[in-house]
């Protein structure tokens, strides 16, 4: 399909911008002016609408069809969130207003959204206080590790390493490394959990933190958690909870009760805000009491008179990690979601998410290798190792699913499973949808027996077939060439 640049016609205009009602006087000297106008497209409003409507048709979202992308929690995004985030009183609010004299009074509505959402998360996760500032999960991880570093520094602890299991998301080691720590990986045992003996050997006085996802990326709950936490704390290490898989445990386990000191929540996963084709997300961080003094500033507080305010007076704070108060528009959608579901609804979310995953797993385990065969939580990992014997890889199965109208599972992750296919159905999918997916997976498994070669050509019914990724690296073409 043509790019918007290829649709450009010299002299054509789109939206007419507001005109000047003051004398037309540019007050910049010539040497400070741009010589040539920026070569943006010259298209009409209808050209633009048709262009993006066509592009939207070449995309697949949760509203299009089943999206069992493991570890990404692609649940339905309620439309109420879209509506409320567009209310003028929220959308038009300038973030610097609270910094004006008595400016807190000008922004009470939005400050309450931030405060209440933080309070709800504190109760759901069992933490003392949340900062809503981190703008994505990985940003939350970096913030969390910075908090841990500030804590150790303040206590005079000299620690240089962070322990991460080998099944962790790539962001965990990357965040710890960027915060200045050495990352030590611990392998998984035959049950898919972090190997306890190996962990004991790795854990020492130099360990600043242990980062865990629970349930882990195999969708399994680690029954050794209480012991791991106890061992880590005995060595003065703090426990970090990666909330990527929180959708499995709402109302069932609270990381704070388990003894985690720092947690981050992926709002765009568990709390149903849209992923936006890659973002924006939101990654609030919650802490246990001993880490509260180090939280980023500003902090939203509720005063004794019931008014909300911003508090900057925290000398031990790690400082500023965001320009303002986080991705407010995203947090607002999550707030609407929590208020709609309430206590009972949130518990039902996890129960049904876990039920859906176990249902699919039980129906598919005769057809695909299930490396860790036990009750799973919100997701599970199959291996295409049996199919590989016929020359069919996880990638081929993914592409065959695309041909059949499904978004594929996450493939080749976690790294500890060969030809991994990580399936997370979420709670918002109906039994009919799950059954159709199960049938498609079985049909593909049977096709692998009969005509394995046919699967290499999939998908055949999309705007493009398989793309040459090696060529993309070689071409280094990252923008439309100028005329």
Single out the residue of 254, 279, 17 nearest to residue 121, CA to CA.
Answer: 254
Nearer to another protein, 107 or 389 (CB): 107
How far apart are alpha carbons 468 and 185 in whole angstroms?
A: 33
CA atoms within 13 A on the CB side of 296: 22
Buried b (16+ CB within 10 A) or exposed e, 266-305: bbbbbbbbbbeeeeebbbbbbbbeebbbbbbbbbbeeeee
How far separated are the first and last CA of the chain, in Å rounded?
A: 18
What region, left, alpha or beta, does residue 41 occupy, with left being phi > 0 and alpha being psi -120 to 50 degrees? beta
Q: How far is CA 242 from the centre of its chain?
A: 11
Nearest distance, CB of residue 425 and another protein, angstroms:
11
Nearer to another protein, 435 or 451 (CB): 435
Nearest distance, CB of residue 437 and another protein, angstroms:
13
Q: What residues have CB less than 8 Å from 479, skipping those under 6 apart?
A: none
Nearest distance, CB of residue 234 and another protein, angstroms:
18
Query: What letter does residue 69 receive in the DSSP assignment?
Result: B
Single out the residue of 274, 287, 269 nearest to residue 125, CA to CA.
Answer: 287
Nearer to another protein, 303 or 449 (CB): 303
How far apart are alpha carbons 462 and 81 in whole angstroms?
A: 31
Nearest distance, CB of residue 325 and another protein, angstroms:
5
How far apart are alpha carbons 263 and 212 in whole angstroms?
A: 10
Nearest distance, CB of residue 101 and another protein, angstroms:
3
DSSP-assigned beta bridge partners for residue 381: 422
Nearer to another protein, 450 or 475 (CB): 475
Nearer to another protein, 35 or 450 (CB): 35
Nearer to another protein, 94 or 389 (CB): 94
Nearer to another protein, 252 or 389 (CB): 252
Nearest distance, CB of residue 103 and another protein, angstroms:
8
Q: What is the 3-state secondary structure (H, E, C) of 393-438?
A: CHHHHHHHHHHCCCCCCEECCCCCCCCEEEECCCCCCCHHHHHHHH
Nearest distance, CB of residue 483 and another protein, angstroms:
11
Nearer to another protein, 254 or 449 (CB): 254
Nearest distance, CB of residue 449 and another protein, angstroms:
24
Single out the residue of 240, 251, 246, 288 nearest to residue 265, CA to CA.
Answer: 246
Does the CA dihedral 163-169-175-178 come out positive or negative?
positive
Nearest distance, CB of residue 56 and another protein, angstroms:
4
Nearer to another protein, 9 or 389 (CB): 9
Nearer to another protein, 60 or 370 (CB): 60
Give one DSSP letter per residue of 291-344, joined into a string: GGGGS-S-EEEE-TTS-EEEE---TTS---SSSSSS-HHHHHHHHHHHHHHHHH
Nearest distance, CB of residue 66 and another protein, angstroms:
12
């Amino acid at each position: 399909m043509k790019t918007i640049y290829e649709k450009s016609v010299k002299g054509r205009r789109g939206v007419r911008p507001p005109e000047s009602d003051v004398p037309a006087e540019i007050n910049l000297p010539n040497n400070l002016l741009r010589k040539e106008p920026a070569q943006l497209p010259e298209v009409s409003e209808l050209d633009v609408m048709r262009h993006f409507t066509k592009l939207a048709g070449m995309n697949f979202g949760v509203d299009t069809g089943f999206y069992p992308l493991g570890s990404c929690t692609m649940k339905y995004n309620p439309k109420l969130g879209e509506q409320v985030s567009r209310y003028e009183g929220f959308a038009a609010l300038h973030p610097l207003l609270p910094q004006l004299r008595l400016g807190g009074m000008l922004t009470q509505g939005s400050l309450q959204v931030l405060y209440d959402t933080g309070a709800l998360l504190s109760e759901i996760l069992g933490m003392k206080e949340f900062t809503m500032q981190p703008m994505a999960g990985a940003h939350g991880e970096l913030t969390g590790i910075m908090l841990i570093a500030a804590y150790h520094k303040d206590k005079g602890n000299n620690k240089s390493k962070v322990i991460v299991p080998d099944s962790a998301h790539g962001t965990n080691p990357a965040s710890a490394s960027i915060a200045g720590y050495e990352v030590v990986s611990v392998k998984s045992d035959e049950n898919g959990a972090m190997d306890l003996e190996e962990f004991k050997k790795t854990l020492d006085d130099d360990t600043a933190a242990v980062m865990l996802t629970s349930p882990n990326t195999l969708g399994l709950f680690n029954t050794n958690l209480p012991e791991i936490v106890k061992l880590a704390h005995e060595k003065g290490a703090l426990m970090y909870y990666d909330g990527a898989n929180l959708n499995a445990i709402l109302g069932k386990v609270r990381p704070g009760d388990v003894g985690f000191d720092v947690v981050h929540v992926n709002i765009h996963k568990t709390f149903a805000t849209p992923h936006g084709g890659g973002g924006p997300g939101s990654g609030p961080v919650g802490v246990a009491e001993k880490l509260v003094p180090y939280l980023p500033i500003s902090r939203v507080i509720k005063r004794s008179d019931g008014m909300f305010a911003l508090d900057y007076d925290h000398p031990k704070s790690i400082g500023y990690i965001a320009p303002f108060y986080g991705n407010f528009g995203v947090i607002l959608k999550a707030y609407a979601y929590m208020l709609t579901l309430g206590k009972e609804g949130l518990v039902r979310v996890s129960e049904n998410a876990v039920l859906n995953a176990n249902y699919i797993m039980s129906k598919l385990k005769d057809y695909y290798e299930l490396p860790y065969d036990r009750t799973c939580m919100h997701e599970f990992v199959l291996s295409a190792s049996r199919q590989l014997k016929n020359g069919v890889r996880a990638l081929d199965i993914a592409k065959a699913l695309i041909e059949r109208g499904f978004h594929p599972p996450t493939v080749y992750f976690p790294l500890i499973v060969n030809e991994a296919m990580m399936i997370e159905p979420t709670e918002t999918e109906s039994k009919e949808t799950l059954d159709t997916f199960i049938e498609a997976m079985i049909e593909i498994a049977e096709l692998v027996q009969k005509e394995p070669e046919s699967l290499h050509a999939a998908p055949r019914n999309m705007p493009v077939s398989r793309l040459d990724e090696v060529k993309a690296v070689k071409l280094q073409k990252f923008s439309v060439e100028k005329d």
